[in-house]
């Protein structure tokens, strides 16, 4: 039996248990859209809360913003997105499949440095190597053309070009345009950073792999402003913080992560050094987060395009300077996908016998701090006085934790359901609880060990477990 995690297993668990549903499902869906269900939204919110606490609230040198999704279109001219946020698009003439020419060259004939190639060169290589369409196998593509990934919409009642606005393709620019507002109102001194969590939109040509690449997604981004001479040690410090966030804070498996540096050809136009944090997904290594040294490119561009001087007055030297910028960036939805993949285990609880197949449970080993539900409160049976006592405990814990009351089905089935939801504790109320000792049984999700503790100590027990 293959017990390793696959994308199919995760997609199916997400649907079955209420983490992620296909978008607009009752209308036959809308390609590549996903809706987070009751447990998925808790997971996502816990990741965002943990990130905000770690990188904004616990640090003296960080503050947050929440900028608008729709921005003045000039922002995207200044940032370079209007001119160069493009992919080389090719269509199969037979089945009309849309593909990225650069990805075809990389994956089918191992061309390196695709970013250096012009649209003409990409088309020629695809044609001369007779690369087949991944869908129908025909070798007949249109010429490659430049496709801008930004979504457009219209603001106001008239749909003309003057009313056209873009849906932001990243949250970063909302931070740059507020640099002056934030610095002046908070009086922060360099080095300091601004963080933001929010939705971003990219009209990706080849979305896929479940929520790995979607057209609507969420990001958690930081722009950390520094003096030019100080960028390198601060950059390395941020890499260290990203490591700790992966391993310690979120509790992901260390051996599933690696750092990969962008070489000169891959670097974005604004960046002098970029590293990606990659995760080993079931389909191979893929980018999870990134960190770029963006120099003073963005603030200078926005100064040029807006006419507003985005400078910093150094209180020690009285000198005006344009800060340089380090950008640690995290995908929320990709982090949630990694949380699901990383937590997944199929564990043999008892081996197969001549008459029975092996008993295998699926268990999600989320770190308790990001688990959607922290504890399930289970009366052993659906009758009084057990149910009443369980409800009492539920009402009490609910004030502090996300807990669930569950009384239907056998206790074994309820345990298995909560294993799949990644609930760290199942707390059972039985006859002894009400008749004898005022104690409950707490079952640990990972070890399945059970211990009896006093009802009055449950809250503190959970607090300890969730904080570590």
CB of 375 to ligand ATP, least distance (A): 31
Q: Would you count residue 196 as binding ligand ATP (CB under 6 A)?
A: no
Q: Would you count residue 425 as binding ligand ATP (CB under 6 A)?
A: no
Footprint of ligand ATP on residues 212-251 (CB under 6 A)? 213-214, 217, 219
Nearer to ligand ATP, 47 or 393 (CB): 47
Nearer to ligand ATP, 101 or 424 (CB): 101
Strand order in the sheet with 145-148: 98-100, 86-91, 145-148
Judged by DSSP in three states, 317 sits in coil
Q: Would you count residue 273 as binding ligand ATP (CB under 6 A)?
A: no
Q: Distances from the Cα of 45 to the Cαs of 40, 206, 363, 371, 402, in angstroms?
A: 8, 27, 21, 10, 12
Footprint of ligand ATP on residues 285-304 (CB under 6 A)? 287-290
CB of 170 to ligand ATP, least distance (A): 6
Nearer to ligand ATP, 39 or 217 (CB): 217
* Closest among 212, 102, 199, 104 to 147, alpha carbons compared: 102
Q: Distances from the Cα of 103 to the Cαs of 89, 214, 249, 318, in angstroms?
A: 10, 17, 34, 50
Stretch that binds ligand ATP, among 17-25, 190-198, 328-336, 413-421 (CB under 6 A): 328-336
Which residue has the closest beta carbon to ligand ATP?
331
How far, in Å, CA of 324 to CA of 293, rounded? 8
Site string for ligand ATP, 149-188 (x = CB under 6 A): ---------------------x------------------
Cα-Cα-Cα-Cα torsion 122, 127, 131, 137, nearest 10 degrees, comes to 130
Nearer to ligand ATP, 20 or 426 (CB): 20
Stretch that binds ligand ATP, among 11-19, 282-290, 409-417, 452-460 (CB under 6 A): 282-290
Nearer to ligand ATP, 333 or 433 (CB): 333
How far, in Å, CA of 123 to CA of 151, rounded? 25
**Residue 421: in which H helix or E strand, if any?**
helix 411-421
Stretch that binds ligand ATP, among 16-24, 76-84, 209-217, 301-309 (CB under 6 A): 209-217
Nearer to ligand ATP, 52 or 461 (CB): 52
Footprint of ligand ATP on residues 341-400 (CB under 6 A)? none
Assign 3-class secondary structure to 239-305. HHHHHHHHHHHCCCCHHHEEEEECCCCCCCCCCCEEEEEEEEECCEEEEEEEEEEEECHHHHHHHHH
Strands (E), 75-134: 86-91, 98-100
Q: Can you give the binding site for ligand ATP, defined by CB under 6 A?
A: 170, 202, 204, 213-214, 217, 219, 287-290, 329, 331, 333-334
């Amino acid at each position: 039996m293959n017990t390793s995690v696959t994308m199919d297993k995760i997609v199916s668990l997400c649907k079955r248990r209420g983490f992620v549903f296909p978008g607009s499902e009752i209308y036959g869906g809308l390609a590549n859209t996903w809706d987070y269900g009751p447990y998925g939204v808790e997971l996502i919110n816990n990741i965002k809360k943990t990130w905000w606490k770690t990188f904004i609230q616990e640090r003296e040198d960080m503050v947050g913003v929440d900028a608008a999704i729709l921005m003045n279109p000039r922002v995207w001219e200044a940032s370079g997105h209007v001119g160069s946020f493009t992919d080389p698009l090719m269509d199969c003439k037979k089945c009309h499949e849309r593909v990225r020419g650069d990805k075809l060259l990389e994956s089918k004939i191992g061309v390196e440095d695709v970013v250096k190639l012009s649209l003409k060169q990409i088309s020629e290589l695809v044609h001369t190597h007779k690369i087949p369409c991944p869908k129908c196998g025909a070798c007949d593509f249109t010429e490659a053309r430049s496709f801008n990934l930004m979504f457009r919409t219209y603001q106001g009642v008239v749909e003309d070009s003057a009313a056209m606005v873009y849906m932001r393709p990243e949250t970063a620019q909302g931070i740059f345009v507020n640099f002056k507002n934030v610095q002046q109102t908070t009086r922060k001194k360099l080095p300091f950073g601004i963080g933001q969590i929010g939705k971003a939109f990219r009209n990706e040509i080849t979305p896929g792999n479940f929520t790995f690449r979607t057209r609507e997604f969420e990001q958690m981004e930081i722009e950390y402003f520094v003096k030019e001479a100080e960028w390198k040690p601060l950059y390395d410090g941020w890499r260290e913080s990203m490591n700790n966030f992966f391993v310690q804070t979120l509790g992901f498996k260390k051996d599933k992560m690696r750092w990969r540096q962008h070489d000169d050809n891959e670097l974005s136009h604004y960046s002098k050094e970029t590293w990606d944090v990659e995760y080993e997904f079931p389909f191979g290594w893929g980018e999870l987060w990134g960190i770029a040294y963006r120099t003073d490119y963005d603030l200078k561009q926005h100064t040029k395009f807006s006419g507003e001087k985005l400078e910093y007055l150094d209180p020690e030297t009285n000198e005006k300077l344009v800060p340089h910028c380090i950008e640690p960036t995290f995908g929320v939805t990709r982090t949630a996908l990694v949380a699901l993949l990383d937590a997944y285990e199929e564990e043999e609880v008892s081996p197969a016998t001549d008459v029975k197949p092996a008993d295998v449970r699926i268990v999600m080993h989320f770190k308790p701090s990001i688990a959607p539900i922290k504890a399930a409160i289970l009366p052993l049976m659906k009758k009084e006085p057990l149910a009443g006592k369980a409800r009492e405990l539920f009402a009490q814990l609910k004030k502090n934790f996300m807990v669930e009351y569950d009384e239907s089905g056998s206790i074994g089935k309820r345990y298995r359901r909560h294993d799949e939801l990644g609930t760290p504790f199942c707390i059972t109320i039985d006859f002894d609880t009400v008749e004898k000792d005022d104690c409950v049984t707490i079952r640990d999700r990972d070890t399945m060990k059970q211990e009896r503790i006093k009802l009055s100590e449950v809250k503190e027990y959970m607090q300890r477990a969730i904080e570590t």
